[in-house]
A and B are shown apart, each in its own frame.
Chain A
């Protein structure tokens, strides 16, 4: 009997690895009952333990434990596998509609002019310019005279002005007054970028009575026209990509000299010529130049010691090109069907 038990256990131990794999939980349960249940095979065999001779008991006990563990491990492996397959099957069979809308109250959006303005400000602050702002209602001095526009000068016709009626003030026609204010307030050296709203008495599909500009300038010792060109070239490459070319043409703004206008190779056609660039391959983007000695003098800066450059550009023009907007009025109508596109 004792030899029999050991033989039976040994036989069972050999059988365990080749037991049939249960296909589902039911078969698994059946297998468990068959081997490990109260009346299962292992249980039955263990009932023969008392009759095993004393000297063989350790061997029989060890064997019994090995068999039990072997079967338990086999059943656990089978259980994990069955469960995994069951979950996977359910997941595979499920219908799920990802096309239902996202359950989120939804974002709004920044205005395209703000977005473009901030993009441009970021480029310049990244280059080392610091942001400064100024008032939108200005005196004639800061808007014109301090910028070398004498009274009754035809250059004033370039900027048709809104005047306030009860006080001697006007709505600034450009962001350039910030130049004068910053020079007075901080003195040289400094590098400023000044974004903001400006106003001119003009309205059609490319002109709005209110629009946005960014002014930039730097004053230091030995700032050159070459520095202006280098700065603008870097800016344009960051805004429109490394292949974009710039072209400076001499021009006139009373507060800079030498003055220039800058064209960029057309961002639509790449310079080949199209409707947008009127087949010239170039788009006029900004005005620039070396800060006029008279402007420095009116801010008590000695133009013999210091020099600087300044530039200014309209944001709407850049935004119109960037987003393909052909009527400037769309920016200020605030039509939700327009605003939602950004």
Chain B
């Protein structure tokens, strides 16, 4: 909200500079900064009299003028269409620098010298009116500083108000806070008594909850013109567009008191009655902005005998607005229920200065003041005659006293304030304290502070007046809860670190995705949750898997020219199951296939490389080596190669999958490089029961190492051979590891050679070479029998 320093000064006594005021308000919780500083901004702008206006020899649209600006007569080239001899104008002299950044110098315009500029309101930073030069009151004396004859050198604050401080949505409310900072008095105007009743008009409130108080005032015989300069400047400075003297009066008083007002053309109120009622379901209503709404029965309407004339607290109707020939006015000042106004504004998608204030709560007791001030302005600036006043307030809104305990206040804040200090702080805000027994107050809050409802609200008021800077910092003893820490966060973190150490870069993708990314991978087994996304409608479902997002990451990077992408992510996935949403942390990764070469040593980037990484990471995390098992027939994942996929099994539990992505899935995901991927449930992995690790004693006796090269059919799985070998003598064959795989000219077509390193050990006695030979012979017999393997000669 924008607010004027000069305007504030009309409502409160203070000796604060704008900087001090901003700092003071900020320390009270009204975050205030200086948005525009016009002090000294009009140093070389003076009142001038246009003496002559003549044509420019080289241009039709601009004119040559002579101007008396107090000293020598100045020649000024002027492009404004409305310039005329005899006008009193604002002249920026050579050397002036205007609020819009323009510097005035002596210069030639189309060949003619110009010594200054006759200014428009835009150039002076007063309004957005750039239709012509600003014409001033002819009584002003040439050469007078412009800032000396009109209100210009103001400072405009930007106040970032929190939603609880509806009372500060006006000059008066902020002035109350300034009074608390400065210790100065508020300058409240006195309200002249009104003439009760309006001839030929009655008010009926059908929904008292929606509208507890409604007042109307009659003003006759106004003449619609633009408002005087001061009013227009203040409105524009606060971001409100000036319209005419009547509408401006309602807006001006709203900015001043925080109370929204509305002016009806009396001619358009039919039947001598104003009814505050709920709209009929489907009732059509056209607001001031020309939009027609189909209303619902919770929308509150101001209606005359036959139709709605305003959407209560939100916007007036087009059918009763102020027109150029409006003469008689009904001025509305009402209190509408915040929830009621908010529901209507939200439902219709309209937010106005008025609805914004009603939603945050206005001062129900402030209506007479606001109505009086606006009527006075209409009398003063529109020549109106103030007539009668109707005030319907069936049930007064009460603010019962609140009990405040001094001990409780000090305990909460960590302070030792005396009763007197507390009462003093509240007093600065106009909050009255009656001291009961020692340390107990009965506190009466003023009607404008409807946000103060309970003791804690008063504690807050005391704390902000005392100043949070004056609360001494202390170190609390932080209580631990024995059953709280589940350790999953720390374990997930360790898991993440392992992937980073294994060469993967951590990505963070949005939790919501484009369903097309998921469908590109044919993932239909989990039902996704849908969401409404007003930022990007395409990202409309919560991810059931991290892989669609990671493939987008890969696609994006490959298009940026990256050759290799190695990324992983740990994050939440979401799925619908029996009408409920389930969340699960997953870890997933994708890696472009190919080769890495380090000084001639080639390292493959493929299925088996990824399998190695996963084995290591899972072993390091759980202490158990995972197994990789081809899914059962028919249960394969469609987005992976049929035979290049595996389920990741840990301790007999399937926690996820890995594999190489199917070429068609890659194509559908806009990825043009082969990729392998994995995804597993981090919750499942980290939730596995931790089995106590038992150490195997280090053998005292040396074992025997033997190498074995076998030739088998190319379709025999190496894993099956290892299994057979180990099973031959489970006690003495301790290790069997594949170390070479060869297919080529040295072995027959359709065959491959596999080389294993075996380790034999007998914990009881030293194995002799002869015993080793015996074991090897048994192994050979078994692999020949089971796999038709022959030793490679």
Q: Which residue of B lies closest to A284 (CB)?
A: B31
The answer to whether B531 touches A108 (Cβ under 8 A) is no
A334 interface neighbour in B338, B456, B507, B533, Cβ under 8 Å: B507
The answer to whether A191 touches B478 (Cβ under 8 A) is yes
The answer to whether A334 touches B553 (Cβ under 8 A) is yes
The answer to whether A137 touches B560 (Cβ under 8 A) is no
Q: 0/1 per residue, A118-136, Cβ < 8 Å to B?
A: 1001000001111111011
- A101 proximal to B (CB < 8 A): yes
- A15 proximal to B (CB < 8 A): no
Q: 0/1 per residue, B521-542, Cβ < 8 Å to A?
A: 0000000011111111000001
Q: Which residue of A lies closest to B464 (CB)?
A: A250
The answer to whether A252 touches B529 (Cβ under 8 A) is no
CA–CA, A105 and B616, complex, Å:
15
- B454 proximal to A (CB < 8 A): yes
Q: Which residue of B lies closest to A127 (CB)?
A: B478
Knowing A101-B598, A110-B496, the reply to whether A339 touches B567 (Cβ < 8 A) is yes
The answer to whether A131 touches B454 (Cβ under 8 A) is no
- B499 proximal to A (CB < 8 A): yes
A111: B residues at CB distance < 8 A:
505-508
The answer to whether B529 touches A105 (Cβ under 8 A) is no
Interface centre among B476, B485, B529 (most CB of A within 10 A): B476
The answer to whether B485 touches A131 (Cβ under 8 A) is yes
The answer to whether B463 touches A250 (Cβ under 8 A) is yes
A108 interface neighbour in B506, B529, B574, Cβ under 8 Å: B506
Comparing B140-148, B312-320, B465-473, the segment that makes contact with chain A is B465-473
B556 interface neighbour in A201, A224, A280, A334, Cβ under 8 Å: A334
Closest approach, in angstroms, between the C-beta of B790 and any C-beta of chain A? 36
The answer to whether A290 touches B506 (Cβ under 8 A) is no
Knowing A127-B478, A131-B485, the reply to whether A252 touches B162 (Cβ < 8 A) is yes
The answer to whether B484 touches A130 (Cβ under 8 A) is yes
CA–CA, A152 and B345, complex, Å:
11
A231: B residues at CB distance < 8 A:
475-476
The answer to whether B412 touches A249 (Cβ under 8 A) is no
Q: 0/1 per residue, A254-293, Cβ < 8 Å to B?
A: 1001111100000000000000000010000000001011
The answer to whether B511 touches A227 (Cβ under 8 A) is no
Comparing B214-222, B277-285, B576-584, the segment that makes contact with chain A is B576-584
B598 interface neighbour in A105, A118, A224, Cβ under 8 Å: A105
The answer to whether B572 touches A136 (Cβ under 8 A) is yes
Q: Which residue of A lies closest to B342 (CB)?
A: A152
B580: A residues at CB distance < 8 A:
167
CA–CA, A153 and B341, complex, Å:
11
B503 interface neighbour in A105, A131, A201, A225, Cβ under 8 Å: A105
Q: Which residue of B lies closest to A193 (CB)?
A: B489
Q: Which residue of B lies closest to A232 (CB)?
A: B473
CA–CA, A131 and B7, complex, Å:
51
The answer to whether B509 touches A220 (Cβ under 8 A) is no
- B599 proximal to A (CB < 8 A): yes
- A55 proximal to B (CB < 8 A): no
Q: 0/1 per residue, B445-475, Cβ < 8 Å to A?
A: 0000000001011011001100011011111
Q: Which residue of B lies closest to A182 (CB)?
A: B484
The answer to whether B481 touches A190 (Cβ under 8 A) is yes
CA–CA, A290 and B464, complex, Å:
13
How many residues of A are counted as interface, with CB atoms below 8 angstroms from the partner's CB atoms? 95
- A337 proximal to B (CB < 8 A): yes
A189: B residues at CB distance < 8 A:
479, 481
Closest approach, in angstroms, between the C-beta of B529 and any C-beta of chain A? 5
The answer to whether A293 touches B456 (Cβ under 8 A) is yes
B463 interface neighbour in A163, A167, A225, Cβ under 8 Å: A225
B414 interface neighbour in A105, A109, A153, A224, Cβ under 8 Å: A224
CA–CA, A332 and B556, complex, Å:
12
How many residues of B are counted as interface, with CB atoms below 8 angstroms from the partner's CB atoms? 95
Closest approach, in angstroms, between the C-beta of A14 and any C-beta of chain B? 54
Q: 0/1 per residue, A188-223, Cβ < 8 Å to B?
A: 111110010101011100000110000000111011
CA–CA, A150 and B781, complex, Å:
79
B557 interface neighbour in A128, A131, A257, A334, Cβ under 8 Å: A334
- B413 proximal to A (CB < 8 A): yes
B568: A residues at CB distance < 8 A:
108
B485 interface neighbour in A130, A135, A293, Cβ under 8 Å: A130
B342 interface neighbour in A129, A136, A154, Cβ under 8 Å: A154
The answer to whether B507 touches A110 (Cβ under 8 A) is no
B599 interface neighbour in A100, A131, A233, A248, Cβ under 8 Å: A100
The answer to whether A220 touches B501 (Cβ under 8 A) is no
- A186 proximal to B (CB < 8 A): yes
- B85 proximal to A (CB < 8 A): no
A197 interface neighbour in B26, B338, B572, B579, Cβ under 8 Å: B572
B478 interface neighbour in A186, A218, A229, A290, Cβ under 8 Å: A218
The answer to whether B360 touches A137 (Cβ under 8 A) is no
CA–CA, A157 and B489, complex, Å:
32
A218: B residues at CB distance < 8 A:
476, 478-479
The answer to whether B489 touches A258 (Cβ under 8 A) is no
B474: A residues at CB distance < 8 A:
224, 226-227, 229-230
Interface centre among A219, A257, A280 (most CB of B within 10 A): A257
- A247 proximal to B (CB < 8 A): yes
The answer to whether B511 touches A199 (Cβ under 8 A) is yes
The answer to whether B164 touches A307 (Cβ under 8 A) is no
CA–CA, A79 and B239, complex, Å:
97
Knowing A109-B506, A257-B460, A333-B556, the reply to whether A186 touches B481 (Cβ < 8 A) is yes
- B480 proximal to A (CB < 8 A): yes
A108: B residues at CB distance < 8 A:
499-506, 566, 568
A107 interface neighbour in B503, B529, B536, Cβ under 8 Å: B503
B511 interface neighbour in A154, A210, A254, Cβ under 8 Å: A210
Knowing A107-B503, A257-B456, A332-B510, the reply to whether A220 touches B479 (Cβ < 8 A) is yes
The answer to whether B476 touches A307 (Cβ under 8 A) is no
A223 interface neighbour in B29, B476, B542, Cβ under 8 Å: B476
Closest approach, in angstroms, between the C-beta of A253 and any C-beta of chain B? 8
**Residues 304 to 342 of chain A near chain B (Cβ within 8 Å):** 307, 331-337, 339-340
B456: A residues at CB distance < 8 A:
257-258, 290, 292-293
Knowing A136-B572, A154-B342, the reply to whether A227 touches B481 (Cβ < 8 A) is no
A158: B residues at CB distance < 8 A:
163
B533: A residues at CB distance < 8 A:
162, 201, 209
A259: B residues at CB distance < 8 A:
460
- A74 proximal to B (CB < 8 A): no
A182: B residues at CB distance < 8 A:
484
A252 interface neighbour in B163, B480, B499, B567, Cβ under 8 Å: B163
B566: A residues at CB distance < 8 A:
108
The answer to whether A220 touches B567 (Cβ under 8 A) is no
**Residues 476 to 499 of chain B near chain A (Cβ within 8 Å):** 476-481, 483-485, 488-490, 493, 496-497, 499
A292: B residues at CB distance < 8 A:
456
CA–CA, A332 and B585, complex, Å:
18
B343 interface neighbour in A109, A127, A152, Cβ under 8 Å: A152
The answer to whether B560 touches A337 (Cβ under 8 A) is yes
- B565 proximal to A (CB < 8 A): yes
CA–CA, A102 and B497, complex, Å:
21
The answer to whether A133 touches B162 (Cβ under 8 A) is no
Given contacts A136-B572, A201-B533, A225-B413, 15 further A-B contacts (CB under 8 A): A107-B501, A133-B489, A154-B359, A166-B576, A190-B484, A209-B535, A210-B511, A226-B471, A227-B414, A258-B456, A261-B31, A332-B509, A335-B556, A336-B562, A339-B567
| A–B pairs, 6, beta carbons within 8 Å | A108-B505, A110-B506, A127-B478, A154-B360, A169-B581, A290-B456
Q: What are the nearest 9 A-B pairs in CB distance? A: A226-B414, A250-B29, A224-B414, A189-B479, A252-B162, A128-B478, A227-B476, A230-B473, A258-B460
